[in-house]
Amino acid sequence: MDNVLNQIGIENYIFLSVILFCIGVFGVLYRRNAIIVFMSIEIMLNAVNLLFVAFSTYHQDPQGQIFVFFSMAVAAAEVAVGLAIVVSIFRNLGSIDIDNLKNLKG
Amino acid sequence: MDTNLALVLLLAPFLGFLINVFFGKSLGKSVSGFIGTGTVVVSFVVTLVFFLQINQNGKPIQISLFDWISINGFKVDFGFLLDQLSLLWLMFVTGIGALIHLYSISYMHDDENMHKFFAYLNLFVFFMISLVMGSNLLVMFIGWEGVGLCSYLLIGFWYKNQDYNDAAKKAFIMNRIGDLGLLIGIFILATLFSTLDFAQLKTAILSGTNTNTCWIAAAALALFIGACGKSAQIPLYTWLPDAMAGPTPVSALIHAATMVTAGIFMITRLNFLFGMDIDTMHVVNTIIAVIGAVTALVAATIGLVQNDIKKVLAYSTVSQLGLMFLALGLGAYEVAVFHVITHAFFKACLFLGSGSVIHALHGEQDMRKMGGLKKAMPVTFITMLISSLAISGIFPLAGFWSKDEILMVAYEHNKVLYIIGSIASIMTAFYMFRLMYLTFFKDFRGTEEQKHHLHESPALITFPLIVLAILAAIGGAISLPGNSWLNNYLAPLFAEKAGEAHGLGGEQYMLMGIAMAGALIGIGYAYSKYIKQNQIPEEDSEITGFSKVLYNKYYVDEAYEFLFVKPVNVLSRFFRDYVETAVSGVVFGLAKVTGELGYQGKKLQNGNIGFYLFVFVFGVCAMITYIFLAK
Amino acid sequence: MSTVLLIFCVLAAVSVGTAFMTIFSKNPIHSAIYLVICFFSIGFQYLLMNSQFLFIVHLIVYAGAIMILFLFTVMLMNLNKEDEVHKPRITRWAAVVLFILSCIVLIAIFIQSKPIVGPYDTTGEDYQSIKVLGKILLNEYMVPFEFASVLLLVAMIGAVLLSKKEKS
């Protein structure tokens, strides 16, 4: 069976991954809503996972996919805890605008 | 064994100092006084043991405690040298010191800080012992500085009076100026000979391999300046009369018998240096002799008109020290030592006696308000009379022999100096008996209340007076012309001075006669003025003419004030106003700059998460660029 | 243009487009939906590369669990209609600049490293079926596997604790 990458070429995957990652970065910096920021972080994680799987196919090695597996586990844990924190902030401040979280000023 | 004894000698007074400093207040006055006296007596006993030993076998004891400085071939060890000269000095330092401590127990009894007084006195004796016992110039310098410090502490003992504090400061500062000279001398000697040990210096200098005659003479001159400061010669003598602000035992101990003799001690110790037979050293010796003679004369003239009993004695001390330096400058070291010893006896007795008088009159020191104390204070009167006769040089008391030796040596070397010395001696006789007549004869001129309280001083005061008076009377026996125990004793110290023992020829008898006659003329003139013509010195406002100049000490203090004190004050004010503000400005400016930077940097922490994320991403991009792309 | 490449391009376009829409849409619920579509497209990419297990796991974890969490939170906070004040204009422009900058930097690294992209060979044997993955996961990577379980346990406890209501 032929390697898929013969048709696609690994550089395409690299460009796609880079663009998705930068979109995630852009989202983190652009929006004020904490939930949207979180979503952008998920986009970033996904871009990295995609790259790992692509290289796993390139090397014909399952270790990349193992890493993706663990990365997903961590992402899930992170979302759980992060959303709990966002809910706490919402309860205390009434909004989740990240520009309101200025108590560390000085 | 010897080391341990020597350490006991040195450290007993220091132990007394420590006890009195820490426990003196709780021990009470008498106990602290007796502890202070006891430690000095212990030192005296040990000195006596060593003295008898060295008198018998003539071997000096050298003790080295530890290596102190060792740099690049220049080695100084912390050591002590107990030879004939140092033991002789220690004898009268500790002996007279012990007597004065005993005296102070009674004299200072009304003072609330008596334990502090004894602490300082003990500290002084400790430093003086280390000065005398040092085996090299540096250990001696420690003692030198230490006695200067103790002098300051003791002169300003009654610190609540600002004038006394000023006098103490003056003494210390003038001493320091002299010490600068001493240090320069030490530095030059260290550079030239790579050693400061007395024995090694002696071998180095006597070996005659030095060609640096200019520098050696410079070193000697610098050392003499140090001696000037400590022994109150021109131009560094004005501190001594002001130092009379201290309690009388202090004046007796420090400014009559011990500290002021340190300069003479040093020069005698270094006799191999000062006695070198090179032209430049001859110049230095001439300078020493001339300054000694001039100081003797000038101080004697000032003493003629002083009305404070202690000031008269102070100027007398300066004058006698001048005579000793005259002897030193003429190379007669044993004669100077002899005069030091006899002077210590009768001057200490005179000071202690004047203290007894002041004590009886409850602090009155002006002779114009004294008089007729002969009947009320017989012991004081007789002892002071004996000492006055001794200082005037009346046969056969101690002063006659020592002063006569000096005048004889002067006559042999330089007639002019002899004449100056003789005039100073005649004046000495005059003002000493002026003191005696004004204080003890005629009628009492003080207040009625003082008259009722006149009585002889207690035994603790009169006992030292009696001892010292006896010594002043018979002290001349240690060096009679033709049979001088002192000269034989000190002979190992003085290299190859062909012992110019004065034979008792016709010339000597003639000089003795002239000296006696001069003294009797002085005494007679004082008698006629103050007994026959019943004169009393005028009040301060009525003094006119040349007497006024003398009374104001030739305005030397005012000259110093103008020449030195005022410019220094101007300079320090300049420093305070400009230099200090500049330096403070720089230092505070640095602090302000840092503060400003911090304040501006604080603005980076604005708490805005968005901003932090920006910086985060930007920083990551920058790092990646630097690591991967910029190579 | 082979089929595979076409499929890849379509999926890529969908991914990038929905990612942008996630960020730019005003309604958070819409953002969540767009994100789900993005996850789906990426999952199909995995499937394109024949890693079936990861595709399933990706869908279950991301689209199934994580996005549900997001939606629940959005609804809890009633962010349905959001009139959000935008960041200051300069901040938004700075964000764009940084976006472009980071793109350039990352792509520049790749280009500068001049990788030797060799022939894509196949070993022929099966390296990513669930059987192989399971074997490796429980043989070589057993310790991280166990730690991942501990991690999830801790995250669960943490989430419960953090969102407890104060007894006031």
pLDDT digits (tens, 9 = 90+) for B255-274: 777 888 898 999 998 888 88
Q: What are the beta bridge partners of residue A33?
A: A97
Whether B458 has a pLDDT exceeding 70, the answer reads yes
Strand B74-82 and strand B61-71: the pairing is: antiparallel
**Burial label, B226 (beta-carbon count in 10 A; 0-12, 13-18, 19+):** buried
pLDDT category of residue C77 using cuts at 50, 70 and 90 = confident
pLDDT category of residue B159 using cuts at 50, 70 and 90 = confident
- Higher local confidence (pLDDT), C116 or A73: A73
Cα distance between residue C98 and residue B621, in whole Å: 9
Determine the angle formed by the axes of helices C130-139 and C142-162, rounding to 10 degrees. Answer: 90
- On whether residue B332 sits in a domain, the answer given is yes
Contacts of C42 (CB under 8 A, 6+ apart): A46, A49, A50, C11, C15, C58
Contacts of B264 (CB under 8 A, 6+ apart): B227, B231, B321, B324, B325, B328, B336, B337, B340
Provide mean pLDDT across the span B470-484. 80
| Residue B579 shares a structural domain with residue B503 | no
Contact C120/A5 with Cβ under 8 angstroms?
yes
Provide mean pLDDT across the span B278-304. 89
CB contact under 8 A, A101 and B607: yes
ipTM above 0.85, yes or no: yes
- On whether residue B60 sits in a domain, the answer given is no
| Residue B594 shares a structural domain with residue B500 | no
Of B605, B609, B614, which to mutate for an interface test with A (greatest number of A Cβ within 10 Å)?
B609
CB contact under 8 A, B614 and C94: yes
Domain boundaries, chain A: 4-100
| Residue B448 shares a structural domain with residue B522 | yes
- On whether residue B111 sits in a domain, the answer given is no
Task: Report CA B499 to chain centroid distance, whole Å.
Answer: 29
Contact B60/B81 with Cβ under 8 angstroms?
yes
| Residue B529 shares a structural domain with residue B614 | no
Whether B591 has a pLDDT exceeding 80, the answer reads yes
pLDDT (tens digit per residue) in A13-56: 999 999 999 999 999 999 888 899 999 999 999 999 999 999 99
What pLDDT is stored for residue B26 in this prediction? 85
pLDDT category of residue C63 using cuts at 50, 70 and 90 = very high
In angstroms, the first-to-last Cα distance of chain B is 80
- Higher local confidence (pLDDT), A57 or B488: A57
Whether B253 has a pLDDT exceeding 80, the answer reads yes
Of C96, C98, C99, C113, which to mutate for an interface test with B (greatest number of B Cβ within 10 Å)?
C98
Q: Determine contact: C103 vs chain B, CB below 8 A.
A: no
Tell me the chain A residues in contact with residue B605 when contact means C-beta distances shorter than 8 Å.
104-106
Whether A1 has a pLDDT exceeding 60, the answer reads no
Q: Determine contact: C108 vs chain B, CB below 8 A.
A: yes
Contact B534/B442 with Cβ under 8 angstroms?
yes
- Higher local confidence (pLDDT), B550 or A81: A81
Cα distance between residue B559 and residue B564, in whole Å: 8
- On whether residue B5 sits in a domain, the answer given is no
Choose the weakest-confidence range: B278-287, B305-314, B475-484.
B475-484
Pick left, alpha or beta for residue C119 (phi over 0 → left; psi -120 to 50 → alpha; otherwise beta).
beta
* Mean pLDDT over the full length of chain B: 86
| Residue B472 shares a structural domain with residue B608 | no
| Residue B457 shares a structural domain with residue B436 | yes
What pLDDT is stored for residue B254 in this prediction? 82
For the ranges B270-274, B406-410, B520-524, B614-618, the one whose mean pLDDT is highest:
B614-618
Domains contained in chain B, number: 2
| Residue B238 shares a structural domain with residue B323 | yes
Q: What is the DSSP letter of B63?
A: E
pLDDT (tens digit per residue) in B335-351: 888 999 999 998 999 99
Whether B498 has a pLDDT exceeding 50, the answer reads no
The most distant pair of C-alpha atoms in chain B lies apart, rounded to whole Å, by 116
- Cα within 13 Å of Cα(B189), Cβ side: 29
Whether A78 has a pLDDT exceeding 80, the answer reads yes
What secondary structure does DSSP assign to C73-102, as a single string?
HHHHTT-SS--PPPPPHHHHHHHHHHHHHH
Cis peptide before B464 (omega within 30 of 0): no
Shortest CA distance to B517 belongs to which of B401, B417, B422, B382?
B422
Cα distance between residue B15 and residue B130, in whole Å: 14
Q: What are the beta bridge partners of residue B69?
A: B76
Residue A101 C-alpha, separation from nearest chain C C-alpha, in angstroms: 14
Residue B605 C-alpha, separation from nearest chain A C-alpha, in angstroms: 5
Phi–psi pair at B65, nearest 5 degrees:
-80, -50
Cis peptide before B396 (omega within 30 of 0): yes
| Residue B438 shares a structural domain with residue B541 | yes
Q: What is the DSSP letter of B627?
A: I
Q: What is the DSSP letter of B483?
A: B
What pLDDT is stored for residue B5 in this prediction? 85
What pLDDT is stored for residue C83 in this prediction? 66
The CA radius of gyration of chain A, in Å to the nearest whole number, is: 18
| Residue B452 shares a structural domain with residue B592 | no
What pLDDT is stored for residue B454 in this prediction? 79
Shortest CA distance to B230 belongs to which of B254, B200, B194?
B254
What pLDDT is stored for residue C57 in this prediction? 94
Domain boundary, last residue among B534, B551, B568: B551
Provide mean pLDDT across the span B37-60. 88
Helix (H) or strand (E) holding B520: helix B506-527
Choose the weakest-confidence range: B12-21, B204-213, B235-244, B276-285.
B204-213
Cα distance between residue B231 and residue B237, in whole Å: 8
Whether B499 has a pLDDT exceeding 60, the answer reads no
Helix (H) or strand (E) holding B171: helix B162-193
Cα distance between residue B519 and residue B548, in whole Å: 25
Select the residue of B614, B617, B629 nearest C108 (Cβ to Cβ). Answer: B629
- On whether residue B66 sits in a domain, the answer given is no
What pLDDT is stored for residue B199 in this prediction? 85
Cα distance between residue B501 and residue B516, in whole Å: 21
pLDDT category of residue B500 using cuts at 50, 70 and 90 = low
| Residue B340 shares a structural domain with residue B236 | yes
Percent of chain B clearing pLDDT 70 (strictly above): 97
Q: Determine contact: C155 vs chain B, CB below 8 A.
A: no
Helix (H) or strand (E) holding B68: strand B61-71
User: How many interface pairs between A and B have CB atoms less than 8 angstroms apart?
Assistant: 28
Cα distance between residue B127 and residue B129, in whole Å: 5
Cα distance between residue B424 and residue B430, in whole Å: 10
Q: Determine contact: C94 vs chain B, CB below 8 A.
A: yes
What secondary structure does DSSP assign to A25-64, as a single string?
HHHHHH--BHHHHHHHHHHHHHHHHHHHHHHHHHHT-THH
Task: Report CA B305 to chain centroid distance, whole Å.
Answer: 24
Whether C167 has a pLDDT exceeding 70, the answer reads yes
Amino acid at B529: K
Percent of chain B clearing pLDDT 90 (strictly above): 29
What pLDDT is stored for residue B588 in this prediction? 94
Contact B404/B511 with Cβ under 8 angstroms?
yes
Tell me the chain C residues in contact with residue B628 when contact means C-beta distances shorter than 8 Å.
109, 112-113
pTM: 0.72
Query: Selecting from 1.10.287.3510, 3.40.50.300, 3.40.50.1100, 3.30.460.10, what CATH number does the domain A4-100 have?
Result: 1.10.287.3510
Contact B412/B485 with Cβ under 8 angstroms?
no
- On whether residue B69 sits in a domain, the answer given is no
pLDDT category of residue B495 using cuts at 50, 70 and 90 = low
Cα dihedral B472, B474, B478, B480 in deg (nearest 10): 110
- On whether residue B62 sits in a domain, the answer given is no
Q: What is the DSSP letter of A97?
A: B
Contact B288/B158 with Cβ under 8 angstroms?
no
The CB density around residue A99, as the number of other CB atoms within 10 Å, is 16
The CB density around residue B385, as the number of other CB atoms within 10 Å, is 16
Whether B182 has a pLDDT exceeding 70, the answer reads yes
Select the residue of B602, B607, B614 nearest A29 (Cβ to Cβ). Answer: B614
Contacts of C19 (CB under 8 A, 6+ apart): A20, A23, A24, A27, A43, C34, C35, C38
What pLDDT is stored for residue C35 in this prediction? 95
Q: Is C158 helix (H, G, I), strand (E, B) or coil?
A: helix
| Residue B347 shares a structural domain with residue B301 | yes
Whether C38 has a pLDDT exceeding 90, the answer reads yes
Task: Report CA B482 to chain centroid distance, whole Å.
Answer: 32
Domain that holds residue B582: 559-629
Q: What is the chain B residue with the closest CA to C99? A: B617
| Residue B594 shares a structural domain with residue B498 | no
Choose the weakest-confidence range: B396-410, B423-437, B590-604, C3-17.
B396-410
